[in-house]
Structure formats: structure tokens, C-alpha cells
């Protein structure tokens, strides 16, 4: 079947550790800030977009971590209080 000018972009699930995510962001920042003797700087746009997407993902991960830590500390505090009453 022929598709006219339609690009298919599948979604892919990739798992990274925090350290790996930080390394990727750092490497992309190095790439974007590199001085290249090219008049046209359009090649940087996709990398800058990727950096911002990865930074957003990193922020979301940090928020989830803080939520989990707050939830676990509040639940452990509640269990300690229940033990004190008995």
C-alpha cells in the first residue's frame, strides 16, 4: 500500500538509569555547544529538542522519586505511631 508523504514514526520504550540519562544529556550538551566551522546552524535544532525532551523526562523522574520517598516516609511514620499506641 502506498502512503503519500506520510512518515511513520513508531514509539519505542528505552530504559535508562539516572546515570545513563545524565550522561546522554551531558553528551548532547557538549555536541550542541561545540564550535563547528559551519555557517548553517540548523543541524543543532533536533539535538536541542532532544535535550529539552530528556530534561523534561529527568524532571518527571525526580518528581516521582520525591513522591515515592514522601509516601514511604509517611507510611513508615504511621506504622511507628501505631506501634507506639499498643
pLDDT tens digits, residue range 15-55? 999 999 999 999 999 999 988 888 888 889 999 999 999 99
On whether the CB atoms of residues 46 and 32 are closer than 8 A, the answer is: no
pLDDT score for 1: 47
Angle between helices 45-85 and 18-33 (to 10 degrees): 150
pLDDT score for 7: 82
More confident residue, 83 or 11: 11
Which pTM value belongs to this model?
0.68
Task: Quick: pLDDT tens for 59-81.
Answer: 999 999 999 988 888 776 655 55
Amino acid at each position: 500500500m502506498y502512503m503519500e508523504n506520510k512518515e511513520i514514526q513508531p514509539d519505542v520504550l528505552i530504559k535508562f538509569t539516572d546515570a545513563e540519562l545524565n550522561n546522554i544529556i551531558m553528551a548532547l550538551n557538549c555536541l550542541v555547544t561545540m564550535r563547528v566551522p559551519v555557517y548553517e546552524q540548523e543541524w543543532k535544532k533536533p539535538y536541542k529538542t532532544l535535550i529539552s525532551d530528556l530534561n523534561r523526562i529527568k524532571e518527571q523522574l525526580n518528581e516521582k522519586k520525591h513522591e515515592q520517598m514522601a509516601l514511604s516516609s509517611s507510611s513508615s511514620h504511621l506504622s511507628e505511631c501505631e506501634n507506639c499506641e499498643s
